[in-house]
Structure 1
Amino acid sequence: MQLYSFFNSSTSYRVRIALAIKGLSVDYCAVNLRAGEQRETTYRALNPAGGVPLLIDEQGNGLGQSLAIIDYLEALHPEPPLLPANPLVRARVLELAHLVACDMHPLNNLRVLNYLTNELGVSEAQKQAWYEHWIAEGLRAAEALLIRYGFGDYCFGDRPTLADCCLVPQVANGMRMHCDLTSYARVMAVYQHCLQQPAFQQAAPAMQPDFTS
């Protein structure tokens, strides 16, 4: 398999965590988002959405969108599972994963931030305020969900799930953007626990071949 990825892309990071948890290896194909390589014609031919991640499987099938990729991997390689068998716990995992993937990340991804700056002319201070606002909105909800329904060392239990795959990169983004995360004790406890685990360490941005500071 091939994974088209950018080291600092949180959506790519989600997929890398899932691959590492499942013990799956891929050929890493770097796409430099900062240089705009995702918009080049050759890459658009592979992924019409023009983003990362993109997974190419052994049969040459291309699949974009991180949650779709992880769902595909889950179907092909169900062990260890990233979605619990219990229907309610499974729904809780999906609830948190979608909070990150649907409510938080789209508002703060690179193309949105670039649009704010390049098209709407917002200042760096205004862009930072935008970023911090949506991080706070999302993590406030995540903290409440974890306090109310979470259990174990991970988000929901004693082994990682899709929720952890999504939460960890989002927290990493918030830290990288110097957001104040001190109000989210349960979120940060999960994050710190995950960082101690080999799969999460393997998937970390600093461990990727295209990493730059």
Structure 2
Amino acid sequence: MRLSIARLAKPVLHGYFRSSCSWRVRIAFALKGIEYDQVPVNLIRDGGQQYSSQYKALNPMQQVPAVEIDGVTLSQSLAVIQYIDETRPGQQLLPADPQKRAQVRMISDLIASGIQPLQNLYVIQKIGAEKVQWAQHFLNRGFQALEPILKETAGKYCVGDEISMADICLVPQVYNAERFKVDIEQYPTIKRLNAALMEIEAFKTSHPLCQPDTPEDLR
């Protein structure tokens, strides 16, 4: 059942083109066919626009994304994905089957809590000269755990043959790993799933290199 909520305006996504958490939300919106507006928050320029008082009022953690939707502001990507899944029709992003739903949550949390925070911009800026080695270590550590899990759960996609929140989390994390020169060949299941997902229009159009705030020299 989908909640009945008066929707007065399009959702607004405050995000950054390269943020994996922002990308997750863009993928979810695209899969659901939801139109939304984007407000860029540049994590580099001016010392980081996420640290402005105006943005802090939206997201006290001063991270992206922040999503204004249905009169509320949500600031964690998995919470946003679950909310739109529960309030909008269309493709279901969390399976109805309890076991599959738990597997989707497990994979999503492994990525969103166990991998991504350890190599995000704020953390690696604190690490300094060893930032690449740091990021590679934690990406490999996470993928070494994720690969055998996905061997058990995957069909065409991360959990069976339907796209889910787990897939939404996987693709941006693989993109991050490639940016940090992690050898994805070590993880054949992850590589296969990522390749299949990147054939889907929602994942293509939401890609960091296709966003309004993508720098021209990266397009």
Q: TM-score range by the shorter chain?
A: over 0.9
2:139 maps to 1:135: yes
Write the letter of the residue equivalent to 2:35. Answer: S
Contiguous gaps of at least 5 residues in structure 1: 118-122
Q: Is residue 14 of structure 1 aligned with residue 24 of structure 2?
A: yes
**How many aligned positions are there?**
204
Distance in 2, Cα, partners of 1:195 & 1:103: 23
Structure-2 separation of matches of 1:46 and 1:95: 28
Displacement, 1:115? 1.2
Q: Relative contact order, CA 8 A, sep 6+: which one is greater?
A: 1
Q: Report the Cα distance in structure 1 between the residues aligned to 2:164 and 2:107, rounded to whole angstroms.
A: 10
> Counterpart of 1:186?
189
Q: CA deviation at 1:177?
A: 1.5
| 1:31 is aligned to 2:19 | no
Q: Deviations over 1:183-207 (max 9, x none)?
A: 1111011101111101111111111
Is the counterpart of residue 43 in structure 1 residue 46 in structure 2? no
With structure 2 as the length reference, what TM-score do the two structures score?
0.90
List alignment gaps of at least 5 residues for structure 2: 1-10
The within-5 A match list for 1:1-213 is: 1-35=11-45, 36-59=48-71, 61-117=72-128, 123=129, 126-151=130-155, 153-212=156-215, 213=218
Contact 2:105 2:166 in 1 (8 A): yes
> Alpha-carbon deviation of 1:79?
2.5
CA distance in 1 between partners of 2:89 and 2:113 (Å): 24
**Partners of 1:45 and 1:148 in 2: CA distance:** 42
CA distance in structure 1 between the partners assigned to 2:103 and 2:190 by the alignment: 15
Amino acid at match of 1:116: I
Identity percentage over the alignment?
38
Give 1:210 shift.
Answer: 0.4
Shift of 1:149: 2.3
Give me the whole-angstrom Cα distance separating, in 1, the residues matched to 2:212 and 2:98. Answer: 38
Query: How far off its partner does 1:143 sit?
Result: 0.8
| Residue matched to 1:120 | none
**How far did 1:107 drift?**
0.6
The one-letter code of the counterpart of 1:127 is K
RMSD: 1.0
SS at match of 1:182: helix
Write the distance in 1 (CA, Å) between the matches of 2:152 and 2:141: 17
